[in-house]
A and B are shown apart, each in its own frame.
Chain A
């Protein structure tokens, strides 16, 4: 009997780990279905989100949107940096005004609102909770 209990506990833990991994599997950069842009490269995603160019491949202006709950995971997946580094990066650029950080949203709902209403807006969501009417431009795997 105790032996069965032990097995059950191990199994539960394994399942838990698997489910967590699965839950944080991928982050996808999304755009309104109506946009003409089909996909972007990783490099284009870095340029857009890190403020180098605010321009999409079809030369329309790009409007990157941050989503607070996923922000840390996103930048980790995109440029392998933690939030402190990202904040420090933007802090350096405050005075020059040459570039500015993406617009910030607090929830997925807000993000979905902006993306739904603006064809140039780019956001990122958890691949497991993909909202409707969105097109995936780039999938960022969160492999360690």
Chain B
């Protein structure tokens, strides 16, 4: 049963046939019933007409028989009527109700509705002489009706089944067969090779042909869009390979971070920069980017806060590694997508070193290697900031002025002057501690900026030691000896003044005081002596 149902669902021809048979059957039964009904009615009418006709045939004789009350003739008439099988009983009835003649067929058939006809006198048309009553043989009539309707039924059934069969054949031939044909061809079709679906024979111009054309058009579109997609995929792969190569071979480190600041991917350059050449192990616990920096670089919060992530590209400089292997790296991080950051890292160690060298050059006196005026002023600026932050710090400034240095230049020449300056610089450097800053401001003008932790007594000792070492005879490369004296002025920031510019002037004044009071000595700034500044 289920098999039949399944077959029914899968076969259009079968379903169409069943539907047609059902429709034809229902219509056929309706037609048949009405046709049989009509046929029966008309057959009944025919039989009725036949009875009437029989009566008309014998009417004249019956008239005469009745007119003359001739029994013999009346019997003749009634018996003659009975010879028709349709008549079961024929009776001639006089005006007074008695029968002139009455004959009944000797069978067991049932009687139909009797027909009575008034029989008039043959000579006086309006004068009724008797009545002729015919009782039809209902069984005979029924059998006649049945015969007629049976023929009709057979004819109709044959016709309807013929129509049904024709429709099934037509549907099969014109619809289902072409469709299954198309379906099979479609299965076997190799659309990629540009093969087309041929329309079934004889269906080039009709709806099935149109369907095939539409399918072909659709195949064309699909194939072209497929090949377009394939081409794009190929192009994308090439592009991707190109980027991959770039990613792998570029000198810049490229990396990706999640929203926790942890490394998701990194290219070889990044690994070289940050991981000492080890590849990023994606199975190991994730590495937080911030732990890679030994100095500088972004904090976790800077990397991961929502606002920070929303901003555009941000940039940091950070150091990686310690000691000789310390490298400086510039890192630019930008948002790639939600919860994903992309970064580019450049090794800027060389640049940074160059910058540092340039910086150092800018603040260094080329002759002596000490700081120059620019360096001194910058250091003053730093000290100024320290002073504001820590008012208790006491930075001291020594200002040196050599006695009769001009004569050295005049007597021994500039070359010797330079040599002297270099030796003095060496002395200054020798006496300076780690955080002290000796500088040559120009000519024979030297300063020494001292650490804030230097007590006043130490300052005096240092000044005296400096004078002593300078007073030693200086032996030039030419073998000549030069003796120099020096006057030193000392001012202390924090106790003498709080302004660095004032500090320089105070030290200068103290230096002049030393000069005035005998040269080759040192003086602190004397708070009791006021100068107009």
CB distance from B131 to the nearest CB of A (A): 18
Cα–Cα, bound, A95→B72 (Å): 9
- Within 8 Å CB of A3, what residues of B? none
Query: B414 at the A/B interface (Cβ < 8 Å)?
Result: no
Are B123 and A93 interface neighbours, CB within 8 A? no
Given contacts A89-B122, A96-B73, contact A52 B68 (CB under 8 A): yes
CB distance from B415 to the nearest CB of A (A): 189
User: Which of A28-36, A43-51, A134-142 has 4 or more CB atoms under 8 Å from chain B?
Assistant: A43-51
What 1/0 flags go to B383-418 for Cβ under 8 Å of A? 000000000000000000000000000000000000
Are A46 and B124 interface neighbours, CB within 8 A? yes
Cα–Cα, bound, A52→B66 (Å): 10
- Within 8 Å CB of B71, what residues of A? 98
- Within 8 Å CB of A46, what residues of B? 121, 123-124
Q: What's the dominant secondary structure at chain A's contact region?
A: loop
Contacting A at CB under 8 A, from B103-151, are 121-124, 127
Q: Which residue of chain B has its CB nearest to the CB of A89?
A: B64
Query: A117 at the A/B interface (Cβ < 8 Å)?
Result: no
Query: A6 at the A/B interface (Cβ < 8 Å)?
Result: no
Q: Which residue of chain B has its CB nearest to the CB of A86?
A: B123
| Total residues of chain A contacting the partner, CB 8 A | 15
Kindly identify which residue among A43, A81, A95, A98 contacts B68, using a CB–CB cutoff of 8 Å: A98
Cα–Cα, bound, A89→B70 (Å): 13
CB distance from B399 to the nearest CB of A (A): 184
Query: B61 at the A/B interface (Cβ < 8 Å)?
Result: yes
Query: A92 at the A/B interface (Cβ < 8 Å)?
Result: yes
Q: Which residue of chain B has its CB nearest to the CB of A97?
A: B72
Are A98 and B124 interface neighbours, CB within 8 A? no
Query: A16 at the A/B interface (Cβ < 8 Å)?
Result: no
Query: A128 at the A/B interface (Cβ < 8 Å)?
Result: no
Q: Which residue of chain A has its CB nearest to the CB of B75?
A: A96
Query: B31 at the A/B interface (Cβ < 8 Å)?
Result: no
Are A50 and B123 interface neighbours, CB within 8 A? yes
Are B124 and A92 interface neighbours, CB within 8 A? no
Query: B67 at the A/B interface (Cβ < 8 Å)?
Result: yes
Query: A83 at the A/B interface (Cβ < 8 Å)?
Result: no
- Within 8 Å CB of B67, what residues of A? 50, 52
- Within 8 Å CB of B73, what residues of A? 92-93, 96, 98
Are B123 and A92 interface neighbours, CB within 8 A? no
- Within 8 Å CB of B70, what residues of A? 93, 96, 98-99
- Within 8 Å CB of B123, what residues of A? 46, 50, 78-79, 81
| Total residues of chain B contacting the partner, CB 8 A | 14
CB distance from A91 to the nearest CB of B (A): 11
Most chain B CB within a 10 A radius of its CB, from A50, A51, A95: A50
Cα–Cα, bound, A79→B120 (Å): 13
Cα–Cα, bound, A92→B60 (Å): 11
Q: Which residue of chain A has its CB nearest to the CB of B73?
A: A96
Kindly identify which residue among B64, B69, B122, B127 contacts A43, using a CB–CB cutoff of 8 Å: B127
Are B72 and A43 interface neighbours, CB within 8 A? no
Cα–Cα, bound, A81→B121 (Å): 13
Cα–Cα, bound, A93→B465 (Å): 198
Cα–Cα, bound, A43→B123 (Å): 9
Are B72 and A98 interface neighbours, CB within 8 A? yes
Q: Which residue of chain B has its CB nearest to the CB of A50?
A: B123
CB distance from A75 to the nearest CB of B (A): 9
- Within 8 Å CB of A89, what residues of B? 64, 122
CB distance from B173 to the nearest CB of A (A): 71
What 1/0 flags go to A65-82 for Cβ under 8 Å of B? 000000000000011010
Cα–Cα, bound, A92→B69 (Å): 14
What 1/0 flags go to A22-65 for Cβ under 8 Å of B? 00000000000000000000010010001110000000000000
Most chain B CB within a 10 A radius of its CB, from A43, A79, A92: A92
Q: Which residue of chain B has its CB nearest to the CB of A78?
A: B123
Kindly identify which residue among B68, B122, B124 contacts A99, using a CB–CB cutoff of 8 Å: B68
CB distance from B313 to the nearest CB of A (A): 137
- Within 8 Å CB of B69, what residues of A? 52, 98
Cα–Cα, bound, A89→B123 (Å): 11
Are A93 and B127 interface neighbours, CB within 8 A? no
Are A92 and B64 interface neighbours, CB within 8 A? yes
Contacting B at CB under 8 A, from A90-121, are 92-93, 95-96, 98-99
Are B68 and A51 interface neighbours, CB within 8 A? yes
- Within 8 Å CB of A81, what residues of B? 123
Cα–Cα, bound, A52→B70 (Å): 9
Kindly identify which residue among A52, A78, A96 contacts B72, using a CB–CB cutoff of 8 Å: A96
Apart from A43-B124, A50-B67, 11 more pairs, CB < 8 Å: A46-B123, A46-B124, A50-B123, A52-B67, A52-B68, A79-B123, A93-B73, A96-B72, A96-B73, A98-B73, A99-B70
Between-chain CB contacts (< 8 Å), 29 pairs: A43-B124, A43-B127, A46-B123, A46-B124, A50-B67, A50-B122, A50-B123, A51-B68, A52-B67, A52-B68, A78-B123, A79-B122, A79-B123, A89-B122, A92-B61, A92-B64, A92-B73, A93-B64, A93-B68, A93-B70, A93-B73, A95-B72, A96-B70, A96-B72, A96-B73, A98-B68, A98-B69, A98-B72, A98-B73
**B residues neighboring A (CB under 8 Å):** 61, 64, 67-73, 121-124, 127
